């Protein structure tokens, strides 16, 4: 008798959904990915406008090992499929309070760079690296495993981690053990913005983010991060995955508490399992009736804390700013007030922090000859009903152009040849992000691990979650890890074996050799 083929439908062609599609297809599942937009990638896609290309969202590609393993599981080589450049310097930090720091993966050069601002802190840099190397090594197995109950926290190995992870400390408090100068601490904690959180509220665990940059590098994929999801979609298709574009899902079909497929305007797709790779809060509201959700009701979701949003400017310009780094982060003089404006007061700052990607100094393929791209990001509040962007948007654009002068980008407005603006309202309408929060639910202690929506969704049998809204959380490497967790759980429930070698407890995401000083 021929074994029945199992079918899975994945809602959303973001990086997590595409990674899950690859892993499930490799394991013998018939996979259909249904995407509302006309292109794959979600927030990790590409804007093409007047001959220019811009990443929509992520521009830092960190720790490629997870995706490299997923590609290898499918029989592909990530480095061959998506050429990448390791950046040095990784980025330039400009402090509104005075001083600059060129962050480099050359650790001895980094010590000298820190010493130019704070000699005392420079002496503690290697101590910081050693501490976080151990933290990552010990916590990594838990980032690779599902958390479905508080009982998972009570495992002996997890309890042993409590002193090391120090959950009672914020990221900034943790960094005070290593660095006294607040500017240096900001240089090792601004990465909490990848999670949409303030370093003064973000859990201390996330000091591993900056550690990963120095240990394993910051990369630029040729063509931008959108080129990564394009390659993933191609590989998925070659493995037999069907990808349907321009096809918004209207609802998940649920029978007696079990997901049995999805419905779009033009078709109904039956499935043995449904994976949702859309913004969790917004997807629940639109795709799953409130009456079918016992735990994650609309009322409960509305009470959760959500990340910041971003005000974006995608600029195609004449010429190039060759003396401006690939990545530049400006940290406002009153950084704490800037964060309060975003997180608590829900208002716009007069002197905001910002980030600029000047990618054409590394990758001229992103613009026509003689031109270049500027990607400008200002963290702002999510939509709390306090800001009318139709009024404030033009004002904030003007302020952003003025702020850019502080990092050496002057006289830019007359050079603009194409432009796109994205506000929290745009993130909500174009990408279906709840409240326009670009990093989903905040990563506070009460919204992590088993307290985050589970990879095997609690409220609907046969339904699974992948992406930044579920465990382990936001950021591309972590989202790829969520795909592995979710795919393992789904295959387990279908009584199928994963056809890839890496799994929690068998092969660590970070090898011992890599942990001991892989810095070149």
Q: What is the pLDDT of residues 328-356, one digit of tens each?
A: 999 999 998 998 999 999 999 999 999 99
- pLDDT digit string (tens) for 220-243? 999 999 999 999 999 999 999 999
Q: Which of 390, 405, 436 is the last residue of a domain?
A: 436
Give yes or no: residues 233 and 206 share one domain. no
Tokens of 270: 């039956």
**Residue 147 domain flag:** yes
Give yes or no: residues 317 and 418 share one domain. yes
What are the DSSP calls for 29-53, one per residue? -EEEEE-SSSSS-GGGSEEEETTEE
Q: In this predicted structure, what is the pLDDT of residue 145?
A: 72
Chain-centroid distance, C-alpha 458: 23
**Residue 40 domain flag:** yes
Give yes or no: residues 341 and 399 share one domain. yes
CATH code of residue 12: 3.50.50.60
Q: Is 2 left (phi over 0), alpha (psi -120 to 50) or beta?
A: beta
Residue % of the chain over a pLDDT of 90: 78
Give yes or no: residues 78 and 137 share one domain. no
Tokens of 232: 């993933």
What are the DSSP calls for 233-270, one per residue? HHHHHHTT-EEE-S--EEEEEEETTEEEEEEESS-EEE
**Residue 2 domain flag:** no
Give yes or no: residues 269 and 180 share one domain. no
d(CA 332, CA 338): 7
**Residue 98 domain flag:** no
Q: In this predicted structure, what is the pLDDT of residue 265?
A: 95
Give yes or no: residues 61 and 149 share one domain. no
Bridge-based pairing state of the strands 46-49 and 327-331 = unpaired
d(CA 32, CA 18): 10
Give yes or no: residues 197 and 257 share one domain. no
Quick count: other Cβ atoms within 10 Å of Cβ 113?
A: 20
Q: Quote the Cα angle for 480-483-485, to 5°.
A: 115
Give yes or no: residues 185 and 198 share one domain. yes
Q: Which residues does the chain have with pLDDT short of 50?
A: 1-2, 502-520
Q: In this predicted structure, what is the pLDDT of residue 519?
A: 28
**Residue 519 domain flag:** no
**Residue 387 domain flag:** yes
d(CA 376, CA 53): 14
Q: In this predicted structure, what is the pLDDT of residue 20?
A: 98
d(CA 193, CA 98): 21
Q: How many folded domains does the chain comprise?
A: 3
CA distances from 470 to 204, 330, 417, 456 (A): 20, 30, 39, 9
Q: Which of 161, 182, 215 is the last residue of a domain?
A: 215
Q: Where are the beta strands (DSSP E) in 385-475?
A: 416-422, 463-465
d(CA 145, CA 142): 5
- Tell me the CB-side half-sphere exposure of residue 9, using CA atoms within 13 A: 24
**Residue 106 domain flag:** no
Give yes or no: residues 158 and 133 share one domain. yes
Q: Which of 162, 183, 215 is the last residue of a domain?
A: 215
Q: In this predicted structure, what is the pLDDT of residue 199?
A: 83
**Residue 208 domain flag:** yes
Q: In this predicted structure, what is the pLDDT of residue 501?
A: 66
Give yes or no: residues 133 and 73 share one domain. no
Full domain range(s) for residue 480: 7-46+55-84+222-304+441-493
Give yes or no: residues 210 and 293 share one domain. no
Chain-centroid distance, C-alpha 338: 22
Contacts for 345-348: CB closer than 8 Å, 24+ residues apart = 345/381, 346/381, 346/384, 346/386, 346/387, 347/381, 347/386, 347/387, 348/380, 348/381, 348/387, 348/392, 348/396
Give yes or no: residues 248 and 230 share one domain. yes
């Amino acid at each position: 008798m021929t074994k029945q083929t199992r079918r899975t439908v994945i809602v959303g062609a973001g990086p997590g959904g595409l990674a899950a599609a690859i892993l499930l297809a490799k394991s013998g599942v018939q996979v259909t990915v249904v995407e509302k937009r006309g292109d794959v990638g979600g927030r990790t896609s590409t804007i093409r406008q007047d001959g220019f290309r811009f990443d929509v969202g992520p521009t830092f590609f960190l720790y490629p090992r997870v995706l490299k393993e997923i590609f290898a599981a499918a029989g592909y080589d990530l480095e061959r499929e998506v050429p990448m450049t390791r950046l040095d310097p990784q980025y330039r930090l400009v402090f509104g309070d005075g001083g600059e720091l060129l962050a480099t993966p050359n650790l001895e050069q980094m010590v000298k760079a820190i010493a130019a601002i704070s000699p005392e802190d420079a002496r503690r840099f290697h101590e910081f690296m050693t501490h976080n190397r151990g933290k990552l090594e010990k916590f990594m197995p838990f980032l690779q495993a599902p958390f479905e109950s508080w009982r998972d926290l009570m495992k002996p190995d997890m309890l042993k981690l409590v002193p090391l992870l120090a959950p009672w400390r914020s990221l900034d408090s943790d960094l005070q053990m290593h660095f006294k100068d607040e500017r240096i601490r900001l240089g090792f904690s601004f990465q909490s913005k990848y999670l949409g959180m303030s370093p003064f509220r973000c859990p201390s665990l996330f000091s591993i983010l900056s550690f990963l940059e120095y240990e394993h590098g910051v990369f630029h994929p040729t063509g931008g991060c959108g080129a990564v999801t394009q390659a993933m979609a191609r590989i998925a298709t070659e493995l037999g995955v069907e990808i349907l574009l321009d096809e918004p899902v209207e609802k998940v079909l649920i029978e007696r508490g079990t997901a049995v497929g999805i419905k779009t305007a033009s078709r109904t797709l039956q499935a043995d399992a449904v994976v949702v790779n859309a913004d969790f809060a917004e997807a629940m509201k639109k795709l799953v009736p409130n009456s079918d959700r016992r735990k994650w009701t609309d009322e409960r979701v509305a009470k959760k804390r959500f990340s910041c949003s971003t005000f974006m400017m995608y600029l195609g310009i004449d010429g190039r700013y060759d003396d401006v780094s690939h990545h530049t982060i400006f940290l406002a003089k009153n950084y704490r007030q800037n964060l309060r404006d975003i997180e608590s007061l829900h208002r716009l700052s007069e002197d905001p922090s910002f980030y600029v990607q000047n990618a054409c100094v590394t990758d001229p393929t992103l613009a026509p000859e003689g031109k270049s791209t500027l990607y400008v990001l200002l963290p702002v509040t999510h939509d709390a009903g306090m800001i009318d962007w139709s009024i404030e948007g033009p004002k904030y654009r003007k302020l952003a152009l003025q702020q850019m002068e502080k990092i050496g980008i002057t006289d830019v407005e007359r050079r603009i040849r194409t432009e796109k603006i994205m506000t929290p309202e745009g993130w909500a309408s174009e990408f279906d992000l709840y409240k326009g929060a670009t990093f989903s639910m905040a990563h506070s202690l009460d919204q992590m691990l088993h307290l985050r929506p589970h990879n095997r969704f609690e409220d609907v049998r046969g339904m699974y979650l992948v992406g930044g809204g579920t465990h382990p959380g936001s950021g591309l490497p972590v989202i790829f890890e969520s795909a592995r967790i979710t795919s393992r759980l789904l295959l387990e429930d279908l009584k199928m074996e994963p056809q890839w070698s890496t799994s929690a407890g068998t092969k660590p995401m970070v090898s011992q050799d890599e942990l001991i000083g892989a810095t070149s």
